[in-house]
Amino acid sequence: MAQYQSVVFDLDGVITDTAHYHFLAWRNLANKLGIAFDEAFNEELKGISRMESLEKILVKGGVADQYTAEEKAVLADQKNVEYVALLVDMSPSDIFPGIETLLTELRAQGTKIALASASKNAPMILDALGITALFDYVVDPDEVPNGKPAPDIFVRGAEAVGADPKMSIGVEDAVAGIRGVLDAGMFAVGVGTPEQMEQAGAHLVVEDTTDLTVALLNAKYQK
């Protein structure tokens, strides 16, 4: 039996690469509004909610005060329609390598599994990937008061499956997400470059999800 009670996963960038589709849809919207948008700026939007992402883009363009709340809601909706259309061909082959085995082996050893994604599209994406049944709980981002980098969504994920967050692991690819995992008192696993993830404070870093195995988690986990 592992020493940890649950593993709480981020979705985009950990389980599948929807980050690229978010980038394409935001870039299109930003370009329509005459705002420059590149991969570097997109990094700042990872793990951040849809409306907060839009706000950051408008602030970057110096036009945040030129839109009413209703107009912003319409813009966010336009981005989401385009984003969801880009996901239409998503299938189990889009799960990052090693992740389905990891989920299956965690279940087999009795570890609870939760999803803590900022995405309102997360349930639809898990269905398209065919892995909904492998999760004990999927947190709705609307059920917690504060989004990432706050720890709320990770605490909720662990507690919803009956686990102590301080006896749990959080897996994230975004700097904002690692912050939340750490503030939840969890062991933080970062998926990404050692430079970025170690700077963010991750306890364990994997560059590739194929390295993210139950054996590694069991060997490296520390309370």
- Positions touching ligand B16 (CB under 6 A) are 10-13, 22, 45-50, 53, 80, 117-121, 174
**Cα–Cα dist 89/59, whole Å:** 33
Cα dihedral across residues 210, 211, 217, 221: positive or negative: negative
Locate 180 and state its tokens.
Answer: 């939340």
Nearby residues of 24 by Cβ (< 8 Å), 6 or more positions away: 82, 86
Binder of residue 117, out of Mg ion, ligand B16, none (CB less than 5 to 8 A by kind): ligand B16
- Name which of 3 and 39 has its Cβ closer to ligand B16: 39
10 is catalytic: yes
The footprint of Mg ion (CB under 5 A) covers 10, 12-13, 173-174
Binder of residue 53, out of ligand B16, Mg ion, none (CB less than 5 to 8 A by kind): ligand B16
In whole angstroms, the minimum distance from the beta carbon of 66 to Mg ion comes to: 30
SS3 of 35-89: the string is CCCCHHHHHCCCCCCHHHHHHHHHHHCCCHHHCCHHHHHHHHHHHHHHHHHHCCC
In whole angstroms, the minimum distance from the beta carbon of 68 to ligand B16 comes to: 20
- Name which of 159 and 173 has its Cβ closer to Mg ion: 173
- Name which of 33 and 86 has its Cβ closer to Mg ion: 86
Catalytic sites, residue numbers: 10, 12
